[in-house]
Chain A
Amino acid sequence: MHPESFRYTKEHEWVLVEGDTGTIGITDHAQQELGDIVYVDLPKVGAHVERGKSLGSVESVKAVSDIYAPVSGEITATNQALADKPETLNSDPHGAGWLVKIRLSTPAEAAGLLTAADYQAYIGAEK
């Protein structure tokens, strides 16, 4: 189940926008495809990320996947708990498994993202 309040990308990231701040993560669909996650590589606080560019990566035992920024902005916080327990990304990808918090530089970008219904349809079609 992908929350209505989130917006989504075709690369399987989600972002929860609240005014000009956002929380970014990867979707439940993504964590299922990746399998057991062993490591998360996150940017530093203060780093600037650009929409569509890689902001870090997620690793399973046999694969690495880039995480692409759904919106541009400055990283204000990263989820340090994932360093110790990367498995949280598997068990709670939409909640405790959040990756970074961001201050949006171009809030208008969020409008171009997929709604939950769009995203659900997209992954349905992918199969």
Chain B
Amino acid sequence: MITKVRPHLSQNEALLVERSSPGKRAYQLPELDVPPVEAAEALGAENVRAEIEGFPEVSEVEAIRHFTRLSTWNYAIDYGMYPLGSCTMKYNPRINELVARIEGLAWAHPYQPEALSQGSMEVMARLETALAEIAGMDAVTLQPAAGAHGELTGILLIRALLEKRGNPRRKILIPDSAHGTNPASAAIAGYAVENVKSCAKGVLDLGALEATVNQDVAALMVTNPNTLGVFEENIIRAADILHAKGAMLYMDGANMNALVGIARPGDFGVDVLHLNLHKTFSTPHGGGGPGAGPVAVRKPFEPFLPVPRLRRAGKKWTFDYKRKHSIGRVRAYYGNFGVLVRALAYILAHGGPGLRNATVDAVLNAVYIRKKLEPYFDLPYPSPNMHEVVFSDERQAKRGVRTGDIAKRLIDYGFHPYTVSFPLIVHGALMIEPTETESKLELDQFIEAMISIAREAEENPEIFKGAPYGTRTSRVDEVAAARKPVLRWKPA
């Protein structure tokens, strides 16, 4: 029974360029209060362009209708749950949008005098302190623009420290359950990547680790809890094994939503980690970014952090550029400041006890889903799960229905799909993370939908091939899109 959605009227909307008409305008500039300048004279005729061919010309009304109509074709958190594993699609508090737009913060130029930037610097300092406390680490950099950027920065920090100790080493160990950004970041940092297999329980295999760690290994990159939603019970021992051989433990903080206020990476052996502000700390995904990926480190790494560093000078904040051991800059200016504001607002709203309560709810929601769906979907790894749970499509695959098909059918029930076919160590994975901002009603409707789909897989497997049926756009031809890429509009 599909209870959460029903079809409705959907506007047809062409591309902007197709609705364009010469002479239409949506802007008005004030009159110039200085004399106009002849472009060819000021720039040289050869430097002046002809008109921007094909650029749209529409009125304000058409502009607002265009984007409004487009927006109605999107699913969003404001509509309902995204059960995407490791994405932590939690509610994006609107107060965060308001405070990020306050003029003194939104219009601050990165090069304005420090004396006139104390507000921004105070925001950054407070966030650094809060994140250090949450992560159990000694120092934080807010420069990285996203998780992958944070990973790269973190690995570069490890490299810099090891280099100072005499040998940067050659390899980074990465579990076979890791997110693709992990090996990609390691490669950009100039390391070779070696895969480490998980054991039968789905967690780190200490024996395999012990055998693999040697003087060539710079670090192990882990996600904790791992991508199965399971806490790495051997993580402290793993850290000991690495440290004994002079190697480091890097943690991908994508799953921090299971740990805030409960366990701190700094307390279980992690040397360097990155956090995803657009996951754990509620900053909006916006259809694919912006995010921010601050990196938190233990004291020995502090001298290598990206430059500049915030420093207290008497009663004021200042940026310290004289950091001769720094790895340098990983981006211009100081960080995705607007995102940092939102994350700090989130932390202020919850406070210490509140952050812990959010974690408890996040884990309760995921465990509840596991309990309710266990009778219907195969659970490959029976260990206790935290904020997410991973099923496999094994049962349904016997009837020819795979995880991708289940995901598409779930759309008809009014939900965005879960994460499909990841992690790779589970064949036909269904990776589900509800987050704490889902009500019992939403969870029950999700569970109801999944149970109904499991029943459909038994009784009516053919229905999956053409799903989804209730959407404005039906299944798209991804093969044609890849074979003959059309990546821009062109006039006929």
Chain A residues packing against B (C-beta within 8 Å): 36, 38-39, 59, 61, 86-87
Sorted nearest first, the 3 A-B pairs with minimum C-beta distance are A38-B482, A36-B479, A61-B478
A127 to B37, CA, bound (A): 75
Chain B nearest Cβ from A37, distance in angstroms: 9
Chain A nearest Cβ from B260, distance in angstroms: 33
Chain B nearest Cβ from A31, distance in angstroms: 13
Sample 12 A-B pairs with CB under 8 A, ordered by A number.
A36-B479, A38-B479, A38-B482, A38-B483, A39-B482, A39-B483, A59-B482, A61-B478, A61-B479, A61-B482, A86-B483, A87-B483
Q: How large is the interface on B (under 10, 10 to 19, 20 to 34, 35 or more residues)?
A: under 10
Chain B nearest Cβ from A59, distance in angstroms: 8
Chain A nearest Cβ from B242, distance in angstroms: 31
Neighbouring A residues of B482 by C-beta, 8 Å: 38-39, 59, 61
Cβ proximity bits B16-52 to A, threshold 8 Å, 1 near / 0 not: 0000000000000000000000000000000000000
A4 to B478, CA, bound (A): 35
A48 to B478, CA, bound (A): 34
Chain B nearest Cβ from A32, distance in angstroms: 15
Cβ proximity bits B470-487 to A, threshold 8 Å, 1 near / 0 not: 000000001100110000
In this complex, what residue of B is CB-closest to A38?
B482
Neighbouring B residues of A39 by C-beta, 8 Å: 482-483
Chain A nearest Cβ from B365, distance in angstroms: 29
A40 to B483, CA, bound (A): 10
A53 to B478, CA, bound (A): 30
B:455-492 near A, CB below 8 Å:
478-479, 482-483
Neighbouring A residues of B483 by C-beta, 8 Å: 38-39, 86-87
In this complex, what residue of A is CB-closest to B421?
A62
A61 to B482, CA, bound (A): 7
Neighbouring B residues of A86 by C-beta, 8 Å: 483
Chain A nearest Cβ from B180, distance in angstroms: 12
- For the A-B complex, the count of residue pairs with Cβ-Cβ distances under 8 Å equals 12
A86 to B479, CA, bound (A): 11
Chain A nearest Cβ from B477, distance in angstroms: 10
A19 to B456, CA, bound (A): 57
A38 to B478, CA, bound (A): 9
A38 to B479, CA, bound (A): 6
Chain B nearest Cβ from A122, distance in angstroms: 21
A13 to B478, CA, bound (A): 26
Chain A nearest Cβ from B269, distance in angstroms: 35
A36 to B478, CA, bound (A): 10
A87 to B477, CA, bound (A): 14
Neighbouring B residues of A36 by C-beta, 8 Å: 479
A38 to B485, CA, bound (A): 10
A112 to B82, CA, bound (A): 52
A72 to B100, CA, bound (A): 61
Neighbouring B residues of A61 by C-beta, 8 Å: 478-479, 482
A51 to B353, CA, bound (A): 62
Neighbouring A residues of B479 by C-beta, 8 Å: 36, 38, 61
In this complex, what residue of B is CB-closest to A59?
B482
Neighbouring B residues of A38 by C-beta, 8 Å: 479, 482-483
A39 to B482, CA, bound (A): 8
In this complex, what residue of B is CB-closest to A39?
B482
Neighbouring A residues of B478 by C-beta, 8 Å: 61
Residue of A38, A59, A86, A87 with highest tally of chain B CB at under 10 A: A38
A61 to B483, CA, bound (A): 9
Cβ proximity bits B222-253 to A, threshold 8 Å, 1 near / 0 not: 00000000000000000000000000000000
A37 to B478, CA, bound (A): 11
A61 to B480, CA, bound (A): 9
Chain B nearest Cβ from A66, distance in angstroms: 16
A38 to B484, CA, bound (A): 8
Chain B nearest Cβ from A45, distance in angstroms: 24
A61 to B479, CA, bound (A): 6
With A36-B479, A59-B482 already in contact, 10 other A-B pairs whose C-beta atoms are closer than 8 Å: A38-B479, A38-B482, A38-B483, A39-B482, A39-B483, A61-B478, A61-B479, A61-B482, A86-B483, A87-B483
A61 to B478, CA, bound (A): 7
Chain A nearest Cβ from B407, distance in angstroms: 13
Chain B nearest Cβ from A63, distance in angstroms: 10
A29 to B479, CA, bound (A): 20
A86 to B483, CA, bound (A): 7
In this complex, what residue of B is CB-closest to A86?
B483
Chain A nearest Cβ from B487, distance in angstroms: 14
A35 to B479, CA, bound (A): 10
In this complex, what residue of A is CB-closest to B404?
A62
Neighbouring B residues of A87 by C-beta, 8 Å: 483
In this complex, what residue of B is CB-closest to A87?
B483
A59 to B483, CA, bound (A): 10
Chain A nearest Cβ from B398, distance in angstroms: 15
In this complex, what residue of B is CB-closest to A61?
B478
A86 to B478, CA, bound (A): 14
Chain B nearest Cβ from A89, distance in angstroms: 11
A110 to B478, CA, bound (A): 38
A77 to B483, CA, bound (A): 22
A97 to B105, CA, bound (A): 60
Chain A nearest Cβ from B476, distance in angstroms: 11
Chain A nearest Cβ from B409, distance in angstroms: 19
Chain B nearest Cβ from A19, distance in angstroms: 36
